[in-house]
Amino acid sequence: MDFIDEIKQFSARVQKLKDQIPTEEATKMSLIVPFFQILGYDVFNPDEFLPEFTADVGIKKGEKVDYAIMKDGEPVILIECKWCGENLDRHNSQLFRYFGTSCAKFGILTNGLVYKFYTDLDESNKMDLTPFLEFDILNIKPNVIPELKKFSKNSFDVDSIFSTASELKYSKAIKELFANQLKEPTDDFVKFILSDVYDGIKTQNVIDKYRNVVKKSLNDYISELMNEKISTALKNESESEDKAAATIEENIAIEDEEAPRVITTNEEIESYYVVKSLLMEIISPEDLTYKDNEKYFAILYKGNIRKTICRIRFGAKNKQIMIANGKDYERIYIESINDIYLHKEKLIAAVLQYKEDWALCLI
């Protein structure tokens, strides 16, 4: 099984377990230790994965970090753990103290859901205050997976990771800066944009006047760019979907043989694309198809009516989505198609119950 598939399987398991874990110790055993097993470490070998590593801090003796990944008798990664219900934002100071007392080059702060990776880019042997990499097991971003894999036992190389850490750190900072400007452009940013499009003097009144124009223009451009990419992707998938549609007709021939012809609405097609975008992280786009009939619009996994992910009903009085949950459906009333985005986790759970390898993550 590929590394990404193992991570996705484990993500589904964490989603089920996280609300049942009451303590930090339970978090370690149920979430954190299995995660490092996936990375290839022998968690039962103290020469490789050492619990309660001693990291004396100043006059304090016997201070211990939760785990240390060892190589040739020396720590290379320190791991500080918290309960899965803890917010990590106020806990990096403890790892900061431990980092400076050892020869470890990397530190990881985690609550079993989020993993923050630190090193010493700004000042040698002094841990940076901000992580150069963050990984959320419940929100897997494809571009993070190759960087995460570099910390696996078979791929781990200090020099290689350190050489890319600086790029990752500043790339993250630039993305955050841009995201903040999209929400609320600063005076300097608005002035920078206006410098090429506005010939007059950029007074404070001018900046305030055009702030919302800049904000709306940037957000509109991003939306248009995303729609263009989605349209291109869907066009490339059309041939695969045509084949899948033929499979659907075969699978539902008995159940839906005498169903009258129906008209698939733009709203139904739009809801299909929304569901597809939410599930692209865990299944291939061609595995998702739809079937419209008189009573509801069904979105299917691998063209099989017996593997329905959800049913959409857009009646005159209300809108509703029914998401598969075992042998039943959970009915959810929605105000608009955009409300479907609020139920991503339930849609993912509906897909995972049909995947052949799903049973493995329950063992």
pLDDT per residue over 129-138, tens digit each? 889 999 999 9
Task: Please report which confidence band the pLDDT of residue 363 belongs to, taking 50, 70 and 90 as the band edges.
Answer: very low
Rg of the chain taking only CA atoms, in angstroms: 25
Helix ranges, the chain (H)? 3-17, 24-27, 33-38, 92-99, 145-149, 158-183, 187-194, 204-251, 266-279, 344-352
Q: State the number of CA atoms in the 13 A half-sphere of 134 facing the CB.
A: 16
200 by DSSP, 3-state: which? Answer: coil
- From CA 38, how far away is CA 42, in angstroms rounded? 10
113 touches 18 (CB < 8 A): yes
The reported pLDDT for the residue numbered 239 is 59
107 touches 99 (CB < 8 A): yes
- The pLDDT of 180-203, averaged and rounded, is 90
Residue 302 dihedral angles phi and psi, to the nearest 5°: 55, 35
With a pLDDT cut of 70, the percent of the chain lying above it is: 87
Handedness of CA 247, 252, 253, 257 (dihedral sign): negative
**pLDDT at residue 254 greater than cutoff 60:** no
- The pLDDT of 275-281, averaged and rounded, is 88
Torsion angle defined by CA atoms of residues 202, 206, 210 and 211, in that order, rounded to the nearest 10 degrees: 80
**pLDDT at residue 256 greater than cutoff 60:** no
Q: What is the mean pLDDT of the chain?
A: 85
List, for residues 72-102, the tens digit of each pLDDT value: 999 999 999 999 999 888 777 778 877 877 8
- The pLDDT of 192-197, averaged and rounded, is 90
Residue 242: count other Cβ atoms within 10 Å of its Cβ: 10
Higher per-residue confidence, 116 vs 282: 116
The reported pLDDT for the residue numbered 62 is 62
- From CA 106, how far away is CA 356, in angstroms rounded? 37
- From CA 38, how far away is CA 51, in angstroms rounded? 17
List, for residues 117-169, the tens digit of each pLDDT value: 999 888 888 888 889 999 999 999 888 899 999 999 999 988 888 888 877 87
